Amino acid sequence: MAKPARERPQPVGHQDGLDGLRFVASCAVLLYHVGGFTGDTLHDTPQAWLLARGEIGVALFFVLSGLLLFRPWVKTLLLGAPSPAVPSYLWRRALRILPAFWLVTLVCMFAFNAGKPKTQWDWSEVFLLVHIYDFHPWWPSEAVGPQGLGQMWSLAVEISFYAILPLLAAALLWWARRGGSSVDRRARRLLIALGVLACGSFVYLYFTYYPTLRPTMQMWLPRYLCWFLGGMAICTLTVWAQAATPGGLRIRRFCQTVAHSPGTCVIAAGVAYAVAATPIAGPRGLGLATLGEMEMRLFLYGSVAVLLVAPVAFQPKGRTVTNQVFGNPVMRFLGRISYGIFLWQFAALYWFYDLSGYELFTGGFLVVSLAGLAFSIALSTATYYVLEKPSQALRSVFDDPVRPAGPLDAVPQDRALLAAQRKDAQADPGPA
């Protein structure tokens, strides 16, 4: 028998627990970079291998983005909610990402790259987040971006996903609706399509190796799309679980099982991470991996991210242990400023080394990690209150009225759920 509606996973509104996961992701990326600064990832030890896979935080960010940003379209398809307005969506994404990014980029370009850009395009490609498409960059060839901005390649991938999501969602919804007006058939067709598209990332990787190796293309969206699609699949399940249909009730029980088993998911994620931290997923750091090793890394990183996100995303409202661990006031605050932590971390580390007298590749992992995190938190807190939060006041400037959804089988719902959907119809899905 299905549990009461209050036990349903949350498909609408803000989920505090996901804020905590954003902070975890930003810390994972920071520790990965600290390992490079201190030289700890250069040693052939188990600790070095585990630390070298901290880049898995990027997969966590991408899964969260797919989960949060795809939600309005899935609600349109499966719950009959109003169709999201694309101009409003794009405007909100730009306000969320660009102001803080432009500030950090301006600071880093003058602080660490003075005199290196030679043309207006050298500056523009960085500020427009298209620098990952430059086959002959002006920064050192062994780096993935200008000094202080090396982590921004993943933000460029995020921006690419934001840009194509309305078109991708329209195609997916068109395909799902071809199954008729049945909620269950639509949901199944949508999940199948997401799975097929995810396989495309592995096919794309092949063409970055053959007929010739093209490392630059390995930083583009098609390689990482499967991680976003993993979040979109989680999103589909959370929304499908709200439907009072035979399939919806089965999915609801599945979501409840996962939500009540966070320990099992964490253990499974730990096992996948341990496997990834072996030569099976390629060499540490920037060493050249084979096609098979790179595809194994893609699969394992995505698996870890999905296993960590799913039990949090499937949580019902209330004071569950998972909600308290990841959604307590401290984690919520750190999650809100986590974007700034991601943006400032390279600059924070460079400034720490300049001020402390520490030398690169000489160890001190714990000290450098704590200092880098403290500097990043301080800078990101200031950025959040001075720039990020005020910019959100402009979100409604270009809001468009939502369009009505297409015909759909009746989906019995709670009054509370219907009220939440109406309130959330034009709400921002939250920072991804």
Tell me which of 58-67, 157-166, 244-253 is least confident.
Answer: 244-253
The residues, any chain, with a CB within 8 Å of residue 421's CB and separated by 6 or more, are: 12, 75, 79, 81, 413
Cβ atoms within 10 Å of 268's Cβ, excluding its own: 16
More confident residue, 163 or 396: 163
Domain that residue 334 falls in:
16-135+147-424
Mean pLDDT confidence for 188-210: 97
The residues, any chain, with a CB within 8 Å of residue 273's CB and separated by 6 or more, are: 50, 53, 56, 300, 304
Predicted local confidence at residue 286, as pLDDT: 64
Mean pLDDT confidence for 67-81: 94
Nearest to 286 by CA among 138, 153, 142: 142
Predicted local confidence at residue 399, as pLDDT: 61
Does residue 204 lie in a domain region? yes
Does residue 377 lie in a domain region? yes
Mean pLDDT confidence for 122-148: 93
Q: Which band of pLDDT confidence, cut at 50, 70 and 90, is reported for residue 287? A: low
pLDDT tens digits for range 226-236: 999 999 999 99
pLDDT tens digits for range 12-35: 557 889 999 999 999 999 999 999
Does residue 409 lie in a domain region? yes
What SS3 class is residue 403? strand
Cα–Cα distance for residue pair 305/278, rounded to 1 Å:
18
Predicted local confidence at residue 392, as pLDDT: 87
Does residue 231 lie in a domain region? yes
Burial of 247 (0-12, 13-18, 19+ CB in 10 A): middle
Mean pLDDT confidence for 272-298: 90
With a cut of 70, say whether residue 85 has pLDDT above it. yes
Does residue 54 lie in a domain region? yes
Taking the mean position of all CA atoms in its chain, how far away is CA 275?
22
Q: Which band of pLDDT confidence, cut at 50, 70 and 90, is reported for residue 295? A: very high
Structural domain count of the chain: 1
Mean pLDDT confidence for 423-427: 43
With a cut of 80, say whether residue 1 has pLDDT above it. no
- Give yes or no for a contact between 381 and 350, defined as CB atoms under 8 angstroms apart: no
The rounded percent of the chain whose pLDDT value lies above 70 is 88
Mean pLDDT of the chain: 89
Predicted local confidence at residue 26, as pLDDT: 96
Q: Which band of pLDDT confidence, cut at 50, 70 and 90, is reported for residue 429? A: very low
Tell me which of 199-203, 280-284, 300-304 is least confident.
Answer: 280-284
With a cut of 70, say whether residue 7 has pLDDT above it. no
Cα–Cα distance for residue pair 350/362, rounded to 1 Å:
14
More confident residue, 387 or 422: 387
Does residue 4 lie in a domain region? no
Cα–Cα distance for residue pair 288/359, rounded to 1 Å:
27
Mean pLDDT confidence for 209-217: 93
Name, of 13-17, 41-45, 196-200, the range with top average pLDDT: 196-200
Mean pLDDT confidence for 238-249: 92
Does residue 430 lie in a domain region? no
Does residue 7 lie in a domain region? no
Amino acid at the residue 347 = A
- Give yes or no for a contact between 376 and 341, defined as CB atoms under 8 angstroms apart: yes
The residues, any chain, with a CB within 8 Å of residue 65's CB and separated by 6 or more, are: 158, 161, 228, 231, 432
Q: What backbone phi and psi angles, to 5 degrees, belong to 254?
A: -65, -45
Nearest to 36 by CA among 23, 18, 48, 19: 48
pTM over 0.95: no
Cα–Cα distance for residue pair 270/252, rounded to 1 Å:
26
Cα–Cα distance for residue pair 171/200, rounded to 1 Å:
16
